[in-house]
Each structure stands twice: as C-alpha cells, then as structure tokens.
Chains A and B, each alone.
Chain A
C-alpha cells in the first residue's frame, strides 16, 4: 500500500513589467515550468515531473502560484524553477522569474 505523497511548491512571479501579470494563467505557467524542467533535466526529468504535475492555484493579482508534484520528483521541479525566464501567453512574452516561497507536503 503506497501512499500517494505530493509536494506543494508555493512561488511568486516577479517581473518588472506589470503586464506580465496578464500571463499568469495555468496554461502559460505550466508550459513555462515544463519547458524549464526539460531544458535542465532533459526528457527524463520532464517525464518524471509530469506525473501528477499541475498548477493547483494561482492569483494573478498578487502573482502567487501553487504548484503540485509528486514527492519523488519535487527536487527535479524545484531545481528547475530558477530557470524560468519568461511567461508567454497569447503571443506575448514577458521576462520574469519565479521566487520560491515555501515547499510543503
């Protein structure tokens, strides 16, 4: 009987351009994070992290994002987060970075 353990990573989107907040939506964020994981950890990393990966909550006004992943792959996810450099949505791309605030179970 294996318990399905998950890790929740709380981060905030930091950007110089206030229009970046428009891009804070689950699809754009999910793509940006997945792309960062693929760049840093390759196909293996992306495949591991994709199990149970989802953007659980986000608030475009405060720029807060809650990501969820499996306990086994949270290190792959967390080590790839510094490599997110921009958010893209509706053909608009704004440079930004993610600041990890807390990781919880």
Chain B
C-alpha cells in the first residue's frame, strides 16, 4: 500500500527496509524478500520510461559493540541486501560506525535529546568513506514537540556533517511525502536549496552506488572527474578499503 503511494508520488527508487534490533533476543538476519516476488511487474517512473527500482535494505539497531560482530562476519545473508544502515545508540558505537563499519548509512535519531554529541573527526571520516547520515522526517510531521526536537537536532547535524544527509520515511502511507516536499523539509533543517535537493536525489543515488560497491567488493564503480573541495581539517585516511563514489 505504501509502495503504491511512493510510486504515484514520483519516486524513482524505493528501498524496502528490514529492521533488526539487537536488544531483543534471538535476532537473525534472514534473506531479504525478493522484490520480484512482491511485484511481478514494476510500474514506470512518472515522466520517464524507466521502471522503478526496488531495493532491499537492512537497518541494524546497535546498542553494544558485540552487535557489530555480525557485520564483520561473512554472513551470506547480509551480503544480499542492497543497502546496509546502522543505528548507533552510544557515542562509542557512533565512532565505530563512522570509522570502521562497512555500512552505507548511519541513522541518527533526531526525536530526542541526543545522548551524545557529534564530534568532527569521525563525521569527516564517514564522509570520506562515502557514508551518509540519515534522519527520519515523519515524527516532525506528526507532533509539535517532535517537530521542535527534530528541527533543532537536524540543524546541528547539518552543521557538522556539511549537509551529507538523506532522509527516511516511516511506515504509514499517509505520512509519506513526495520528493519535492522532502527537499522543502530540508530547507527547514538548515540545508541550502542545492543541498536539500541533493538530500533526496544525488545523496540517495550515491548511497545506492556505495551499496553496490560493497556487494561486489570493487573499489570504484562510477568515476567522474570533479574538482575537490579543500577541507579545513586534514583527517587521517583509514587504511582499510575505501569505497569512493561520486556522481
């Protein structure tokens, strides 16, 4: 139902999210639902002649370092997901997620007073590795108090991660918003117009490509020569595999 709304509202790619919360017992990573089974024929993106892409995504809610072992193991099922996102609950885990974990997205809960402050070095490292930060916009739409927390947390997040953000919606079809409107929400969260539009388009596409490089274990998928912006602080480049995607 929500997917039909997504399609009609103009999104060209949708990721089906499977959430795993390690606080609950006995969490196993199962194989992702194959989109082909759900949709024998995918509708066409509005205004073009291409079909809508449906991807699979896994979100891991981690509150303890032992939960991350799953990501490091060569579990076959994890490799089947197109996008992997992690939701760190502590500052140490946030640091680990930004610097070493092999993920595509780091989710930030903006609906409460954050239990930890963002520091610049891990955030810069995550940006260099091609990881984007993500926030949920649906609580802001529903409730006034949530809206205040979301906006203030989002603004501080934007300031520190230089706008490398994408956004996520929740489950109910009527709480979804179209791409143009989500970009407008980005303006409220302190992004510039270009950054807000990128948050719905280029950043998401970069995340998809990042997921593809992770799956295929290549270093680079898509390269375009682009003038590099000079960063103020020089951060140490991690020695591990760096998947660089720039569109």
A78, B8: Cα distance in complex, Å: 20
Q: Which residues of A contact B222 (CB under 8 A)?
A: none
Quick check: is B35 within 8 A (CB to CB) of the other chain? no
Tell me the interface secondary structure of chain B in the complex: helix
A15 to chain B, nearest CB (A): 7
With A14-B9, A40-B147, A99-B9 in contact, is A82–B184 under 8 Å at CB? yes
Q: Which residues of B contact A98 (CB under 8 A)?
A: 181
A95 to chain B, nearest CB (A): 5
With A40-B188, A75-B187, A100-B184 in contact, is A82–B177 under 8 Å at CB? yes
Q: How many residues of A contact B (CB 8 A)?
A: 19
Output the nearest chain B residue to A36 by Cβ-Cβ distance: B141
Quick check: is A81 within 8 A (CB to CB) of the other chain? yes
B192 to chain A, nearest CB (A): 12
Does B184 lie within 8 Å of A78, measured CB to CB? yes
What are the interface flags for B172-184 relative to A under an 8 Å C-beta threshold, 1 for contact and 0 otherwise? 0111111011101
Does A99 lie within 8 Å of B147, measured CB to CB? no
Quick one: which of B158-213 are within 8 Å of A by CB?
Answer: 173-178, 180-182, 184-185, 187-188
Quick check: is A51 within 8 A (CB to CB) of the other chain? no
Quick check: is B75 within 8 A (CB to CB) of the other chain? no
Quick check: is B223 within 8 A (CB to CB) of the other chain? no
Quick check: is B218 within 8 A (CB to CB) of the other chain? no
Does A82 lie within 8 Å of B187, measured CB to CB? no
Q: Which residues of B contact A101 (CB under 8 A)?
A: 178, 180
Total of A-B residue pairs, C-beta within 8 Å: 50
Does A81 lie within 8 Å of B181, measured CB to CB? yes
Tell me the interface secondary structure of chain A in the complex: mixed
Quick check: is B41 within 8 A (CB to CB) of the other chain? no
Q: Which residues of B contact A99 (CB under 8 A)?
A: 9-10, 177-178, 180-181
Q: Which residues of B contact A16 (CB under 8 A)?
A: 1, 173-174
A78, B186: Cα distance in complex, Å: 11
Quick check: is B144 within 8 A (CB to CB) of the other chain? yes
Quick one: which of B1-20 are within 8 Å of A by CB?
Answer: 1, 5, 8-10
Does B188 lie within 8 Å of A79, measured CB to CB? yes
Most buried by A among B1, B147, B174, B175: B174
With A39-B144, A99-B9 in contact, is A79–B187 under 8 Å at CB? yes
Does B141 lie within 8 Å of A82, measured CB to CB? yes
Does B141 lie within 8 Å of A79, measured CB to CB? no
Does A79 lie within 8 Å of B185, measured CB to CB? yes
Does B173 lie within 8 Å of A100, measured CB to CB? no
B2 to chain A, nearest CB (A): 10
Does A15 lie within 8 Å of B174, measured CB to CB? yes
Output the nearest chain A residue to B10 by Cβ-Cβ distance: A99
What are the interface flags for A6-30 relative to B under an 8 Å C-beta threshold, 1 for contact and 0 otherwise? 0000000011100000000000000
Can you list 20 A-B contacts with CB-CB less than 8 angstroms, sorted by A residue number? A14-B5, A14-B174, A40-B147, A78-B187, A79-B185, A79-B187, A79-B188, A81-B181, A82-B141, A82-B184, A82-B185, A85-B141, A85-B174, A96-B174, A97-B174, A98-B181, A99-B9, A99-B180, A99-B181, A101-B180
State the 8 A-B residue pairs at the shortest beta-carbon distance, nearest first. Answer: A99-B178, A100-B180, A82-B181, A82-B177, A78-B184, A79-B184, A79-B188, A95-B174
